[in-house]
Amino acid sequence: MPSTAVTDLEFVVKTIAQTAVDNEREFCELDAVVGDGDFGYSLARGFEVVLAEWDSFDRSSPAAFLKKIALVISKKVGGTSGPLWGTAFLRASGAVSDAAGLGGEEVISMLRSAAEGIKTRGKSDLGDKTLLDALIPMTDALEENLLTTAGPAKSPAELAKVAALAARAAADATSGMQARRGRPSYTGERSIGSPDAGAVAVAVIAERIADEWKLRV
């Protein structure tokens, strides 16, 4: 991979992994409100392996790198999160299978493909109160800002902030939704009033990426 693609992609993926590990307890507590409370644990255990094996991953291309991450997550993340997050990374890998580098168009393609993979694997969609309810609005906001021709183009750090703000607003909005997929859906209307743990995880990860991106030299 070109050096900029290596640097940016590694930064994002490693930040995702570290955030999942650092927020294990918080994500479990969120999930315990209407779920089985193991979301944070499952995610952390899988991404611990990603961090432990970090130096061994194939970095010959963005696709190869993401595919290896996907395989680790699929094998090591338990519960329903493993298949969903593993599929997301695998679909992102497929979206850039022929790309030598990564630009705005490739980033949007990866995120869209990840969302479509989650939809298919989880039989879910926007409005079902899942992580899609943060991931899709975040992607929409990024795409809108990348395509705009008004004013100067935003820097990667500014785009990361756009993504974080959109993801947080969307995650907070899941509090008013009734869960229609997964364990929380079993609670019916009791699922209304608390945010979806997966959507919050997307927001927390996006915020961490934005906060740390602006500190990069």
Cβ-contact 140, 189 below 8 angstroms: no
SS3 (DSSP) at 35: coil
- Cβ burial of 120 (10 Å; 0-12, 13-18, 19+) is exposed
Which homologous superfamily is 3-213 in?
DhaL domain (1.25.40.340)
pTM of the model: 0.93
pLDDT of residue 120: 96
Distance CA 160, CA 138 (A): 10
Cβ-contact 90, 59 below 8 angstroms: no
Cβ-contact 187, 155 below 8 angstroms: no
Q: What is the pLDDT of residues 36-82, one digit of tens each?
A: 788 999 999 999 999 999 999 998 899 999 999 999 999 988 888 89
